């Protein structure tokens, strides 16, 4: 659906990283983890297209998005004031398929940068439905300052491990390397379900790890979108079929089984 959502809050939570809270009752009610909203940041033509943001959290009638200022669109968004309105479409896309307890006992979420956004919603929903599940969250960032949501995941009751590329906090290296290290230390019968969101290179590596270990793995892709609803076929990724096919990130995803994608 398309609504004018009131901005309840728009706050810088880390350098160039913002959290925006929007009043959007209908979207809050329907949203599931991994889905996104498509936001018109400007009434003019600069930028022309909407910008997609994963739903970070649902709190009653409100939804939250988490974003990093990367260009003109997010820069404009970061200057939006409280009590203003934003034209948003949502909830859009196919989100994560929630882990069911009959099949698994362990869940690992791997987040890179602002990839924490959709995984927070997933962790909250999963624990709400299955409080007995054990969730391990691995968060990667360039440095300590850019690390997001560590405390929020801990507060939820997740175990959290952190990796920074410069080593200013936690493991020194990439989130995918931290995942390999955790798997090395675990027992052979350990069969977690993996959920990953972050830069494409990271997702590719996580996908490769899950393939080797035969762990089920869902990844949330980030793409430039035009329509955001599946009409224009602008945002496709290569996926397996008898040969290959192109799937729409906005409608067939953004969450895919890592095994169905053809990484290049």
Partner 1 sequence: MMEKAKEKSPNLAIELAGISLKNPVMVASGTFGYGEEYAKLIDLNRLGAIVIKTITLKPRLGNEPPRIVETASGVLNSIGLQNVGIEAFIKEKLPFLREYVVPLIVSIAGETSHEYVQLAKRLSGEKIAGLELNLSCPNVKYDRKLMFAQDPKATHQVVSRVRKVTNLPLIVKLSPNVTDIASIARICEQVGADGISLVNTFLGMAIDVESRKPVLHQITGGLSGPAIKPMALRMVYEVHQAVEIPIIGIGGIMTAGDALEFIIAGAKAVAIGTGNFVDPRTAIRVIEGIIDYMVKNKIKDIKSIVGSLRCPKGSL
Question: For residues 159 and 238, which CB has a smaller minimum distance to partner 1 in the complex?
Answer: 238
245 φ, ψ (degrees, to nearest 5)? -145, 170
Of residues 42 and 105, the one with the C-beta less far from partner 1:
42
Task: Tell me phi and psi for residue 123, to 5 degrees.
Answer: -65, -45
Q: Which of the ranges 39-47, 56-64, 112-120, 198-206 carries the binding residues for partner 1, by CB under 8 A?
A: 39-47
d(CA 119, CA 114): 10
The residues pairing with 109 across neighbouring beta strands, listed in sequence order, are 137, 195
* Window of 40-48, 57-65, 143-151, 166-174 that interacts with partner 1 by CB under 8 A: 40-48
CB–CB of 84/78 below 8 Å?
A: no
Max Cα separation, the chain? 57
Q: 85: which strand partners?
A: 6
Q: Please state whether beta strands 236-240 and 255-257 pair in parallel, antiparallel, or not at all (unpaired).
A: unpaired
Q: What are phi and psi of 21, to 5 degrees?
A: -105, 130
Q: How far is the CB of 72 from partner 1 (least distance, A)?
A: 9
- Touching partner 1, residues 233-262 (CB under 8 A): 233-238, 244-246, 251
**CA–CA separation, 43 and 172 (whole Å):** 43
CB of 152 to partner 1, least distance (A): 32
Per CB under 8 A, which region of 5-13, 19-27, 142-150, 219-227 contacts partner 1? 219-227
Helix (H) or strand (E) holding 206: helix 200-213
Q: How far is the CB of 227 from partner 1 (least distance, A)?
A: 4
Count other Cβ atoms within 10 Å, centred on residue 46: 9
* Selected range binding partner 1 among 77-85, 108-116, 127-135, 230-238, rule: CB under 8 A: 230-238
- Per CB under 8 A, the list member of 16, 80, 87, 152 interacting with partner 1 is 87
Choose which of 8, 14, 49, 98 interacts with partner 1 (CB under 8 A). Answer: 49
Taking the complex as a whole, the smallest distance from the CB of residue 92 to partner 1 amounts, in Å, to 10
Question: Is 102 a residue that touches partner 1 (CB under 8 A)?
Answer: no
Judged by beta carbon, residue 147 or residue 237, the one nearer partner 1 is 237
Q: How many residues of this chain interact with partner 1, rule: CB under 8 A?
A: 29
Q: Tokens at residue 11, please?
A: 């706050």
Q: Which residues pair with 171 in a beta bridge?
A: 163
Q: Report the C-alpha gap between 120 and 128 in whole angstroms.
A: 12
Cβ closest to partner 1, residue 2 vs residue 154: 2
**Chain positions contacting partner 1, by CB under 8 A:** 1-2, 40, 45-50, 87, 89, 224, 226-238, 244-246, 251
């Amino acid at each position: 659906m398309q609504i004018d959502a009131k901005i309840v809050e728009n706050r810088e939570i880390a350098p160039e990283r913002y959290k925006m809270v929007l009043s959007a009752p209908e979207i809050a009610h329907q949203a599931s983890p991994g889905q996104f909203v498509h936001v018109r940041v400007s009434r003019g033509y600069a930028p022309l297209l909407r910008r997609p943001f994963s739903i970070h959290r649902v709190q009653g009638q409100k939804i939250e998005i988490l974003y990093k200022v990367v260009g003109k669109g997010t820069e404009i968004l970061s200057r939006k004031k409280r009590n203003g309105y934003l034209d948003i479409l949502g909830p859009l896309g196919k989100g994560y398929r929630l882990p069911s307890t009959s099949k698994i006992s362990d869940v690992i979420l791997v987040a890179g940068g602002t990839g924490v956004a959709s995984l927070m919603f997933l962790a909250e929903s999963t624990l709400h439905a299955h409080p007995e599940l054990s969730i391990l969250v691995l968060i990667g960032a360039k440095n300590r300052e850019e690390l997001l949501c560590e405390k929020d995941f801990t507060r939820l009751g997740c175990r959290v491990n952190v990796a920074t590329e410069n080593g200013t906090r936690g493991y020194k290296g990439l989130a995918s390397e931290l995942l390999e290290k955790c798997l090395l230390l675990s027992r052979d019968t350990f069969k977690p379900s993996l959920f990953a969101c972050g830069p494409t290179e990271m997702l590719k590596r996580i996908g490769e790890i899950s393939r080797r270990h035969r762990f089920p793995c869902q990844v949330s892709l980030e793409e430039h979108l035009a329509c955001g609803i599946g009409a224009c076929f602008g945002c496709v990724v290569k996926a397996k079929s008898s040969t290959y096919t192109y799937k729409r990130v906005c409608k067939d995803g953004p969450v895919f089984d890592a095994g169905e994608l053809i990484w290049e």
